Structure 1
C-alpha cells in the first residue's frame, strides 16, 4: 500500500491488494480503519484468480511516489526476496508476524496430540465400526513433563510455548542471536491480545546460533516435540539434514517434528530416510519442498507423517488480523513512529 502523506488532516491514498480473502472477510476492521482515517481514500482489489508467488508488479519508487510502506499478509517475505522492490528500493516492507500465532500453535498441538494419542488408528477403527478397547493394545502419552524445543522463538513459537506450558511441558527456545537480557527477550512485533509471550517468560532455557555446532548442541537435548518456526534464509535452508536426524536418533524417547515454517528448512529426502529408518517418531508438515507436493513424491508414503497443504495459518479471523496490522502501521506513519513488523532486509525477515 502506498500513496500520499498520512496525517490527521491530509488527503492520502491507500491501495490494498489481497489475494487470500475478499473484502467481506475483513469488513469489520476495514470499517474501523475508515472511521479512524476518514481522509484516506481506499481501493480494495481482490483478484479472483490464482496469484503466483512471484507475481508482484515490476515497479520502482518513481512509479509509486511517496509510498509509505508495503504490507504483506504472510509472516515470511522470502518469496519476494529477489524482487526489485525488495533488492533495489528502500520502501519499508512489513510482514504479518503475529497474525498467525494462535491458529498455527493450535495446529502444532493438534497434530502432536493426534500422534501421542494414536488418533489415526482409533479413527480407522471408527470407520470400520469396530469397538475395540483392551489394555496394552495401544499406547498413548499425555504431555505433562515432555519437552518442546522451538527453533525460532517468534510470534508463532511464543504461542506454542504458552499452550505447551498450560499442558505441563518444558519449553526450550532457540533463536538466531543470544537473548540474555529482559529487553532482548521481549516481543516487539504485532501481538494478538491474550496470546504469545510478550516478555519472553515461558522458556525454561534459551539457546541460540546459526552455526551447526550450536544447533547440534541443541538437538542433543532430550526434545520430545521439535517445532520448526524459523524464517527461510540461506543460513536456515536444509537446517535439518542427515547429520541432524542422526543426532535426533540418539533420543531414547524419539523426537516428533512439526514444521510450520517453510519446506526447504528440511532436507526432504533426508527426512524421508529418517522416517523410514525410525530415527524420529514422526513428522507433521504443513509445508513441503516443493509446493504443491507432487503426487509421486515419496514423502506421501513415508511412515508416521501427517501432511496438510500449507493451511495451518488460515482461519476465518486471519484477514481481520492482517488489517489490524495495517491499522497499527497507519497510526505509526501518522504519528511519526517506527513501523511494526518491518522486515530487516539484511537478515531476510
Structure 2
C-alpha cells in the first residue's frame, strides 16, 4: 500500500469520510484535525442511513473513482470499495461503529490486509447510561407509574416492590469499553461488579484497556470488578451464570462463538441461581441471544425482564412475538447515538492520524481472526 511520507508538520494525506450523519455533527473535531494536519485533504460524502433487506446498514452512494485512487484514510460506517485495487494508496479504514461484523463478509475484510479500525470506546458513556436507565425503569416499576400518569391517576398500592441497586450484582459479559463504563456507573450506585472476558485476565497488564477511552470514563486499569471470569466454552459461561447475577449486561462482539451465547440452558441456570429474577440488557448484537428461547424465558418468569437495543433480525418485524413478550423493553438500536457521537468518532480518527504520523500502532485495530 502506498501513500506519501508523513511529517511532524502535516500529513499530506487524503481523507474521505462516507458517513450517515451531517458533517456539522463533528465540526469541532474536524476543525481541530485540519489545524493539526494542515496538509490533509479532507473530503466528505453523505451516505443516507438505511437498513438493507439483509438487515445490515447501508445506502447507495456515488464515490468518484479518481478520488478513491488517492484516498489514504477512509472513514465509514458500512460503505467500502468493491475491491482493494480501487484504493491503491489506502493506509487504514476507520469505522464509526464499535463492531465490524456487518462487513465481515466483504472482500475488503476477508481478502485484504488493509488495517481496519473500530470506534470502540466512543459509545461507552451513552450506552452505559441506556443500560442503567433501563435497569432503573425496571427496578422502580416506572412503566406502570407512567401509565397511571397518562390516566391522571394518583394511586399507590402501598407495596414495597421497588428495588435500589445497593448490594446487587451486575455481571458484564464482555468487559470492553462499554462494559467498563457500565461498571463505573454501577459501582457508583453501590453494586458489585463481575467481569467476563473471552480470555483470562490474570495480570494487571492484561486487565488494562488499551483502546480509545473518552476522558473521565471507563475503567482503564480494570479496578472495578471484584472478580474476573473468562472463556468461550459453555462450561465457563455456566459457572459465571451460577453466581446470582441481578443485572446481566451483554456487551460481547458477535462471533461464531458468541452466537446464541444465551439460550434455554443459560436462562435455566440464571433462574436457578437467582429465583427472584435476573434482568438482562443486550447492547451487543441480537443474535448473541437465542430469541425464541428469550421469549420463552420471559413468559415463564425464568428472568425478571429484558432491555433490548438489538434484536434478531433488525428491523424487528411488526408481527414478531418478541414485541408482546412480558417485561421487555425494546429500542431500535439507538443506545449509542447521541449529539456527541460524531465528535467522538472523529476523535478516534484524529488519534489514528497522530499514530500514523508518529509511526505508532493504530488504536482499535480489528483482529480479523477474532472478529473484533
**Which range, TM-score by smaller chain?**
over 0.9
Q: Is the deviation greater in 244-253 or in 275-284? A: 244-253
Does 2:105 match 1:105?
no
Q: CA deviation at 1:71?
A: 0.4
Does 2:45 match 1:45?
yes
The residue aligned with 2:114 is 91
Q: CA deviation at 1:253?
A: 2.4
Question: Runs of 5+ in structure 2 lacking a partner?
Answer: 59-78
Question: Runs of 5+ in structure 1 lacking a partner?
Answer: none
The residue aligned with 1:284 is 307
The residue aligned with 1:35 is 35
Tell me the SS of whatever aligns to 2:229.
strand
Q: 1:49–1:343: structure 2 CA closer, same or farther, 3 Å change rule?
A: closer
Tell me the SS of whatever aligns to 2:84.
coil
Q: CA deviation at 1:58?
A: 4.3
Q: Distance in 2 between matches of 1:24 and 1:319?
A: 9
Equivalenced residues, count: 346
What whole-Å deviation, never above 9, does each CA across 1:130-161 have from its counterpart, x for those lacking one?
1012421x610100000000000000000000
Does 2:371 match 1:348?
yes
What whole-Å deviation, never above 9, does each CA across 1:81-133 have from its counterpart, x for those lacking one?
11100011000000000000000000000000000000000001100001012
- Taking structure 2 as the reference length, the TM-score comes to 0.91
What whole-Å deviation, never above 9, does each CA across 1:13-52 have from its counterpart, x for those lacking one?
1111112x10011100000000000001010111246374
Q: Distance in 1 between matches of 2:252 and 2:98?
A: 11
Does 2:15 match 1:14?
yes
8 Å CA contact 1:187–1:199 kept in 2: the answer is yes
Q: Distance in 2 between matches of 1:49 and 1:129?
A: 39
8 Å CA contact 1:58–1:84 kept in 2: the answer is no
The residue aligned with 2:87 is 64
Tell me the SS of whatever aligns to 1:16.
strand
Q: Distance in 2 between matches of 1:27 and 1:62?
A: 31
Alignment of 1:112-261 (within 5 A): 112-136=135-159, 139-250=161-272, 251-261=274-284
- Taking structure 1 as the reference length, the TM-score comes to 0.96
Q: Distance in 1 between matches of 2:204 and 2:15?
A: 37
Q: CA deviation at 1:254?
A: 1.1
Q: Distance in 2 between matches of 1:294 and 1:39?
A: 48
Q: CA deviation at 1:7?
A: 3.1
The residue aligned with 1:296 is 319
